[in-house]
Amino acid sequence: MAATISATLLDWYDRHARDLPWRAPPGTRAPEPYRVWLSEVMLQQTTVAAVKPYFAAFTARWPTVEALAAAPEEDVMAAWAGLGYYSRARNLVKCARVVAEMGGFPQSEKALRQLPGLGDYTAAAVAAIAFGRRAVVVDANVERVVARLFAIEEPLPAARKAIRAKTDAITPDERAGDFAQAMMDLGSSICTARDPKCLLCPLAEQCAGRKTDDPARLPVKAPKKAKPLRQGRAWWIEQEGSVWLVRREGTGMLSGMRALPDDGWSARGNGQGGPDGEPLGLVRHGFTHFDLELSVLRHDAPLGEGEWWALDQLDEAGLPTLFAKAARLALA
């Protein structure tokens, strides 16, 4: 059965592979490891549609891992602004510098896993797609396909061990990279989270989940915990066509990014107050582990160490999404 599944899926992929800027078409030379790695880091918890313009901008500005390694971290962080999960950008620079020092990416999954920011998934994806190594690649799409294909009833996250074992069982020795990408494409276009298109699925005959008459309920997910709500303040300080921006300190959330001055809100608690000002409105933003309500106030004097940034060039400041929202509110 495993051989039939992989052969059927690869045949489907040869005819239906998505055309993506970081991919090589089936049957052609593998893409450069740099492009595979960069795309996989960007795609973590982010949609393909959102990643495409960032990938194009990054590869135009830094076409090689050596070019990225030589870039100032603040420039990379600014270019990443809006893509979210900013620790990825910091690890991107760290990893690029290690790889440049090594003279290139290592080819084995084990060695790739030692690089900054590369977990099990990314290491396996780069090993399989860029170097043709047999590796078990399991992202959210693959997780969903396999849970349905084998009707794995155990709820997530406990089911991940069984899902990985089943993925390992059907991963072929040859074309493991194409197989991984085929599974991703199947999950994104056919075996979708809601309303799976079973009549179009090349694996419909082998799918145990389809035989349950309700494949969409798989994988079974544990109930989501309610996220805490944090509250904070930020200040819009404008003079003569410029706004006062600071650079966030430390190693925590949004560290190293340009931002509006704020009151020190964090994932652990609310902000610590600060000077009053003219209320401009409220910005709401969701982070992974908490939601934030940020009150935006107009103030008339600089707060903290920072710089004046021309309003007509604010798009070039690389503000993270939260503070870009606050800026749009103030400018409106």
Catalytic residues: 40
| DSSP string over 121-151 | HHHHHHHHHHH--------HHHHHHHHHHTT
β partners of residue 146 = none
Could you tell me which of 89, 97, 29, 15 has the C-alpha nearest to residue 64? Answer: 97
Return the structure tokens found at 175.
């074309």
98 residue type, one letter: V
Q: What's the CA gap between 121 and 91, in Å, rounded?
A: 15
Q: Enter the DSSP assignment of 269.
A: B
**Other CB atoms closer than 10 Å to residue 25's CB: what's the count?**
11
SS3 for 190-219, per residue?
A: CCCCCCCCHHHCCCHHHCCCHHHCCHHHCC
Residue 259 Cα to chain centre, angstroms: 21
If one counts every other C-beta atom within 10 angstroms of the C-beta of residue 278, the result is: 10
Q: Measured between alpha carbons, how far is 97 from 114 in angstroms, rounded to an integer?
A: 13
| CA pair distance 130, 128, nearest whole angstrom | 6
Could you tell me how many helices (H) and strands (E) the chain has, helices first?
12, 6
Dihedral sign from CA coordinates of 133, 134, 138, 141: positive
Q: Which two tokens stand for residue 218?
A: 């798989």
Q: How far out from the chain centre does Cα 323 lie?
A: 19
Q: Which amino acid is at 279?
A: P
DSSP characters over 95-124: HHHHHHHHTS---SHHHHTTSTT--HHHHH
